[in-house]
Amino acid sequence: MSMAIVTLKKGEGRTLKAGGAWIYDNEIESIMGNAENGEIVLVHDFDGYPLGRGFINRNSKIRVRMMTRHIEQEIDREFLKMRVKNAWDYRKTTVDTSSCRVIFGEADFLPGLVVDKYEDVLVVECLALGMEAFKETIVELLKEVLAEDGIVVRGVYERSDANERKKEGLPKVKDFIGAPFDTDVEITENGVHYQVDVVNGQKTGFFLDQKYNRLAIQRLCRGKRVLDCFTHMGTFALNAGIAGAFDVTGLDISEYAIQQAEENARRNHLEGTVHFRCANVFDELPRLAEQKEQYDVVILDPPAFTKSREATKNAIKGYREINIKGLKLVRDGGYLATCSCSHFMTQELLAKTVREAARSAHKRLRQVEFRTQSPDHPILWAADESYYLKFFIFQVVDEK
């Protein structure tokens, strides 16, 4: 059966040609032939030049997601195994693989699919209709590739419950792929032990992308008083505690997250020095400032304040406000770690916002370092959506 051909408008597809993976609906001149949503199509430039193969979805503004730049390449089991093996080989070279993101969608040339490995458990998130047809085959292939390195997968759980599924015309899914298993998994990262709930935890159960940023915090915290805001499962707080901080407070608005954090503190025998409190960070920081509290290290790891370009203006206000409040609690010569996990909050925009916050708080900043997401979340140049996490560490100096 001949495949449908998607032809781009003249002058369009610039991101695709630069190495990106998406073709938007307004970039397409014509679609010749019949193609059901989710099926593989051929992609041609306006002049007929072949650009590769991808899967189509007329329900989505991202009309085509590219699978290969080779127009003759069959999207078969052998092709998918090559993609999976390349992804795993990359992780073995770049990160601690005990728990890591094994497949990161477009950045691993498997658009719309995320697979996280927590010790011997895999958690799958599928956000694209076209990837649904390949999802279970990829899971089987991943098990095979891991088995070649002596890793036996105990179970696979699907967490395809993000709102993005609706845009693709897909229902939300939370279920086992294969036989049921105990979904509470203990992992160790940077010497810290965590209990990960892959069914009820945020995203796929744990934020693996901050792994080495948490490690970077450790060297600042020995003998220090630390405040970890938006602590979630206590990750930064516990890294501070295990590094030898003498007093650590973690704040989060979620009672469930605080319960998990407290359990993780006990798991690491840190309950004597690392404490957690359920609180709205925006309200709690001014209260702490009124009480003249001061910390050697303040960590701000908020959720994404914007998930769209249109909401970025309001998000900037949120980032500016939280950084002003956080900066006021850092003692002279102390440290601030601040980040954004929003793709739309660019590095330059975040830097500008923190600079304005420092001016408002009458603080001077000395940049220690700038970091981004862990290498198991690779940034594919020209695929801007793959670059989302920005992480600054500053020394904070009072204006004198």
Residues with a catalytic annotation lie at: 341
Using alpha carbons only, give the angle 298, 188, 304 rounded to the nearest 5 degrees.
45
Of 107, 131, 128, 138, nearest to 21 by C-alpha is 107
Per-residue tokens: 189: 């990262």
Q: Assign residue 352 a region: left if phi > 0, alpha if psi is -120 to 50, beta otherwise? A: alpha
Q: Assign residue 230 a region: left if phi > 0, alpha if psi is -120 to 50, beta otherwise? A: left
Using alpha carbons only, give the angle 147, 97, 261 rounded to the nearest 5 degrees.
120
Question: DSSP assignment, residue 25?
Answer: G
40-44 sheet: strands from edge to edge: 22-24, 62-68, 50-56, 40-44, 5-8, 28-32
Q: CA 44, 134, 131, 103 torsion: positive or negative?
A: negative
**Long-range pairs of 368-375 with CB within 8 A, sequence gap ≥ 24:** 368/335, 368/393, 368/394, 368/395, 369/216, 369/393, 371/212, 371/213, 371/216, 373/209, 373/210, 374/95, 374/100, 374/101, 374/208, 374/209, 374/210, 374/211, 374/212, 374/213, 375/94, 375/95, 375/212
How far apart CA 352 and CA 232 sit, in angstroms, is 26
Using alpha carbons only, give the angle 246, 249, 250 rounded to the nearest 5 degrees.
140
